[in-house]
Structures are given as structure tokens and as C-alpha cells.
Amino acid sequence: MGCRQQIEFARVDRRHDAGERLKQFVLGEFLSRAHWIYSDGAPGGFDVERSLYQTTSGGYGKFPVDQRTGAMHWQDIGTRFRWVLLTIVLNDFAVNMGPISSRMAEAVCVLPMPEFMRVVDNPSPGYALEVSIGYPFIDYAPIPNFFGFGPGKFGVAVKLFSFYLTHDRRIRAVMEFAAAPRARKVFDFFGLDPVYGGADLLQMVSLGLFDPQGLHDTMDTSMLVEHCHVHQKLMDGTFKVWEDWLAESTF
């Protein structure tokens, strides 16, 4: 299962060194600043905390309590750290049931490594710079949930955030997600899934007349749509964070 989102993120004023600003923001500020409070008082974006790490020399450690808020600087990945364990709270995760949408506290654990970072000048025609970061997911749910697929319930999954600077100073953000195997459960109530389990049972009692594939396709698509919804809100809010960061920074 996977999805790809492409967003026209921002345009850089000619007063700024566009390439250098973009690298500084993505590698040093993006994940640590990608959170805010909505007008109704609800939190939005990602809350990130770093905890464990492995150094490039093979040693292991834990960040002190007063140094855990936010992500590490990505330039430390591959030079100082081999990996860093991040816990990300997804503030905009919601469960939609018809016209009703309910926000839920969900979180994932991810493991940034140097293989998921890329900074390239002139990566392809039309682009002056690419700055990409990403991470694989850990198969662990920091906040227990009843989902059979989703935060902390992927088999193997990766997320990539790529920011491209065009020659006319526009920034395009591309987000890619892939997970395997395909979802086997919608919910997990002590090992039972009433949705896919019920569909399989109906197929059995109907002697194969009911094909559950259509239900699987619909439900799997809805899971990916929610993933895209969470990350669209992330980018919508991060645009304001980016503008505020440019305005407050002295270069």
C-alpha cells in the first residue's frame, strides 16, 4: 500500500538565498517546528520527541530529559549518529464514520538514518535543489490503539519528505509513503477484526458468492486517504511555520 502527495508549498523572496534557506529549514527546523494550536485550542501537526540513539562509532545512548523535545539536526545523522529514535504524535489523526469525525491521540516511532537523507544540486531538469528526509517506521504503537493497520501497526513502512526548489524560486513538496504487507485488519479487538473477519465469514457462508475484495479495496483506500489527510494538514500548517521562520531569522 502506498500514496504520493505533491504540494506547491511556497515561493522564496529574492531577498533570501533560496537554496541555503531551504536546506537550513528542512534539515534543522522542519520536524521540530511542525506543530501549532488551532483557533479551537486543539493541537495540530506533529509533536516530536527524541529518545535513544546509536553513534556512528557503534555506541548507544539516551538523550537527557531536557534535550528530548524536537528532532535532531539531520546533518548529525551519518556524522554523529547512526540512527535516532523519534516518537511522533500525530495531532491531526481522525477516525471518520459517515458525517462524524473524531480526533484521536495516535503516535508512531520512527528511526531516521543517513540512507533516508538526500541533498542534491540540480537533481533533474527544472529543479535547482532537492532536500529530502525520511524514515522507516518501528512496528510499535507508543499509544495503544484498537486499529489493525495504521500508527504503530505497519509491517514494514517508510515515509519520505522531499522539497524541490525550482529555478524560479518555487518550492514543491513531495511526500511518499509505502507499507507492506497490505492491510490484513481494519480493527484488532483481541486478535479479531469484525470488518475483514466478517467479510471473510460472509464469503465462506455464501460459498464464495460474496467477494470481499471490493470491501478490502474500499477500506484500504480510506486508510490511505486518512494518511494523506494528516500529512496535508501538516504541510498546510508548516507553510505558516516556514513564513514565520523566514521573518524571524537574520541571514
Q: What is the mean pLDDT of the chain?
A: 92
Q: How many domains does one find in the chain? A: 1
Instruction: Judge whether 20 and 47 are in contact, CB under 8 Å.
Output: no
* Separation of alpha carbons 198 and 201, rounded Å: 5
Please work out, in degrees rounded to the nearest 5, the angle formed at the alpha carbon of residue 173 by the alpha carbons of 170 and 177: 165
The pLDDT of residue 97 is 58
For 75-89, the pLDDT digits (tens) are 999 999 999 999 999
Task: Give the tens place of pLDDT for each residue, 214-224.
Answer: 888 999 999 99
Q: Up-side HSE of residue 171: CA atoms within 13 Å toward CB? A: 24
Owning domain of residue 218: 2-248
pLDDT digits (tens, 9 = 90+) for 132-148: 999 999 999 998 888 88
**Prediction pTM value:** 0.91
Concatenate the DSSP letters of all residues of 103-116 into one string: E--EEEEE---GGG
